[in-house]
Homo-oligomer: A and B are copies of this chain.
Amino acid sequence: MKVLVVGANGQIGKQATEFLHDYDEHHVRAMVRKEEQLNEFKEKGIEAVLADLEGSVDQLTQAAEGCDAVIFAAGSGGQTGADKTLLIDLDGAIKMVEAAEKAGVERFLMVSALQAHNRDNWNEKIRHYYVAKHYADKALVASSLNHTIVRPGGLLNEPGTGKIKVADDLPERATIPREDVARVLVASLNQEKTFNRGFDLLSGDQSIEVALNSL
């Protein structure tokens, strides 16, 4: 599969890009916003493209041309205001869905947030962020794309364990290393049990392969 990683300079996106680069069966294209990020990937021998989620759908469509799948791992991050949450996490994500449809991409994997589908269990402190994720996810579901919505718990920067727990609904507030989220995204690309559905994702005691196969 040829996979466009959107938000390839982010913490999950970078790891997903590198894992994909290591696989013979996949090719990866890193989508980044800045010239210096572009060069960083190119120096590692990774194909990269410049495009901005605040830009036009046409520009994003060009970035996705020729890809079989999109992994959307972009986010406005905790340092910016809620206006950027609207522009990136909501509108940027939905523009990328539209772009993927226009470019003839078949698969779209979205990095969402634990319980984003369940309005009754949103973290009050960042409730507005959940609103953006919730409706971006809904737009993906309503699209024509074969989608997978991965909803990880609190993201940690520690090394992955390779052991996870997945389900429709994991209402407890728990965590997972970003590395494991990146591995789950890559493992989901061809895993039919993840097609056209979403799932909550936390650290657990099953291997990624066994856990995804149990969906």
CA distance A119 to B55 in the complex (A): 11
Which of A11-19, A83-91, A105-113, A167-175 touches B? A83-91
Is the CB–CB distance between B135 and A94 below 8 Å? yes
Question: Which chain B residue has the least Cβ–Cβ distance from A134?
Answer: B91
Interface size on A, residues (CB 8 A): 23
Return A59 CB to nearest CB of chain B, in Å.
13
Q: How far is the CA of A95 from the CA of B81 in the complex (A)?
A: 24
A132 in complex: contacting residue of B81, B84, B86, B94, CB < 8 Å: B86
Alpha-carbon distance between A33 and B134 when the two chains are bound, in angstroms? 25
**How many whole Å from A91's CB to the nearest CB in chain B?**
4
A136 CB to nearest B CB, Å:
9
Could you tell me the distance in whole angstroms from the C-beta of A92 to the nearest C-beta in chain B? 9
Most B CB contacts (10 A, CB to CB) among A81, A82, A87, A131 go to A131
Q: Within the assembled complex, what's the spacing in Å between the Cα atoms of A84 and B86?
A: 11
Contact present for A90 and B142 (CB under 8 Å)? no
A34 lies within 8 A of chain B by Cβ: no
CA distance in complex: A57, B135 (Å) = 16
Interface centre among A57, A127, A135 (most CB of B within 10 A): A135
Which single member of B81, B86, B120, B128 contacts A131 (CB below 8 Å)?
B86
Q: How far is the CA of A119 from the CA of B90 in the complex (A)?
A: 13
Report B-chain residues with C-beta under 8 Å of the C-beta of A134: 91
Evaluate contact between A90 and B135: CB separation under 8 angstroms: yes
- Bound complex: CA A131 to CA B84 (Å): 11
A131 close to B82 (CB less than 8 A): no
Shortest distance between the CB of A45 and any CB in chain B (Å) = 36
Please, which residues of chain B bring their CB within 8 A of the CB of A128?
82-84, 86-87
Give the Cβ gap from A202 to chain B, nearest Cβ, in Å. 25
* Residues in B neighbouring A120, C-beta threshold 8 A: 56
Q: Which residue on B lies nearest to A87, using beta carbons?
A: B128
Q: A81-B81, A84-B128 given; name 10 further pairs at CB < 8 Å.
A: A56-B120, A57-B119, A82-B85, A86-B86, A87-B131, A90-B90, A90-B135, A91-B119, A91-B134, A94-B135
